[in-house]
C-alpha cells in the first residue's frame, strides 16, 4: 500500500469521537430486543430518515479520480492495484439496499452502482487461511470484516448513488457498501484491503464497538 496521502480537509472531531466512545461504554440505543429473524425492515433501536446524514472523523480526503488508486494485498494469490479507469473497466453491479448507521438512523432504498465484491474476490483469489479483511481509507480510517460477510452478492465497491457519483462527503470517489452490517463497516474513501487470518480490530473496534456489527442482533458494542 502506497504511504503517500492526499491533502486532508478539516480536523479530527475529538469531542464527537469521545462522545461515541461514551455511547459504547453506556450501551446507548440498545433495546435488548434483537430481531434475529428480520421480522421488521427497521432494525431494533433505529429510526428511518429520508436524507443521508454525513458522519466522519472530521477529516475528508481532497481526492480526485486522477489521483485515486485502490489496492489489495495480504493473504491472496494475486495482489492488485487499480487506477480509476481500471476500476471502471471491471464488471459493474446496480443494486438497491437499505443503510443502517450505528448512530441510530436508517435510510431505505438506496441505489448504488459499483464493482461487486464477488468480482474482486475472483480477481485476487484469497488463500484458504484468509478469513478476515482490514479496510483502509484515505483518511486513515480502518475497519475489520469477516470474509464471509464481504463475500456476498449485495456487497459493492460503490462509485455512484441515486444515479450520480458519490460525493466527497459521503466517501467518493469510491466506498464500500455492505448493507447487512452497520454503516461504519462500509469504509469511506476506500484505498486498500488487506486479507488476513486474524481478526484485528479497526478504528472504532478499538474504541468499544463490535467486531462484526449486525444491526438486527444489536451488535453495536463489545
List per-residue pLDDT tens for the chain, 222 residues long.
Answer: 655 567 776 777 888 889 899 999 999 889 999 999 999 999 999 999 999 999 888 889 999 999 999 999 999 999 999 999 999 999 999 999 999 999 999 999 999 999 999 999 999 999 999 999 999 999 999 999 999 999 999 999 999 999 999 999 999 999 999 999 999 999 999 999 999 999 999 999 999 999 999 999 999 999
CB atoms closer than 10 angstroms to residue 2: 9
CB atoms closer than 10 angstroms to residue 165: 14
Query: pLDDT tens digits, residue range 122-139?
Result: 999 999 999 999 999 999
Spatial distance between the Cα atoms of 6 and 221, rounded to a whole number of angstroms: 31
Q: Which residues contact 149 (CB under 8 A, 6 or more apart)?
A: 155, 178, 180, 181, 185, 212
Nearest to 126 by CA among 207, 202, 197, 25: 197
pTM of this structure: 0.94
8 A C-beta contact, residue 195 and residue 78? no
Copy the grid coordinates of residue 160: 455512484
Amino acid at each position: 500500500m502506497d504511504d503517500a496521502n492526499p491533502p486532508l480537509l478539516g480536523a479530527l472531531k475529538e469531542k464527537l469521537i469521545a462522545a461515541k466512545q461514551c455511547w459504547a461504554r453506556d450501551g446507548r440505543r440498545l433495546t435488548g430486543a434483537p430481531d434475529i429473524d428480520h421480522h421488521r425492515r427497521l432494525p431494533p433501536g433505529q429510526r428511518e430518515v429520508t436524507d443521508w446524514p454525513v458522519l466522519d472523523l472530521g477529516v475528508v480526503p481532497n481526492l480526485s479520480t486522477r489521483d485515486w488508486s485502490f489496492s489489495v494485498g495480504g493473504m491472496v494469490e494475486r495482489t492488485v492495484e487499480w487506477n480509476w479507469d481500471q476500476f471502471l473497466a471491471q464488471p459493474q453491479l446496480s443494486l438497491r439496499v437499505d443503510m443502517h448507521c450505528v448512530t441510530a438512523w436508517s435510510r431505505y432504498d438506496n441505489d448504488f452502482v459499483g464493482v461487486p465484491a464477488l468480482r474482486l474476490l475472483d480477481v485476487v483469489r484469497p488463500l484458504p487461511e484468509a478469513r478476515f479483511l482490514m479496510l483502509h481509507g484515505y483518511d486513515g480510517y480502518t475497519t475489520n470484516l469477516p470474509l464471509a460477510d464481504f463475500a456476498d452478492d449485495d456487497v459493492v465497491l460503490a462509485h455512484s448513488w441515486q444515479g450520480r457519483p458519490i460525493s466527497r462527503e459521503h466517501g467518493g470517489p469510491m466506498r464500500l457498501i455492505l448493507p447487512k452490517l452497520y454503516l461504519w463497516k462500509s469504509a469511506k474513501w476506500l484505498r486498500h484491503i488487506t486479507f488476513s487470518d486474524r481478526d484485528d480490530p479497526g478504528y472504532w473496534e478499538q474504541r468499544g464497538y463490535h467486531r462484526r456489527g449486525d444491526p438486527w442482533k444489536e451488535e453495536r458494542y463489545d
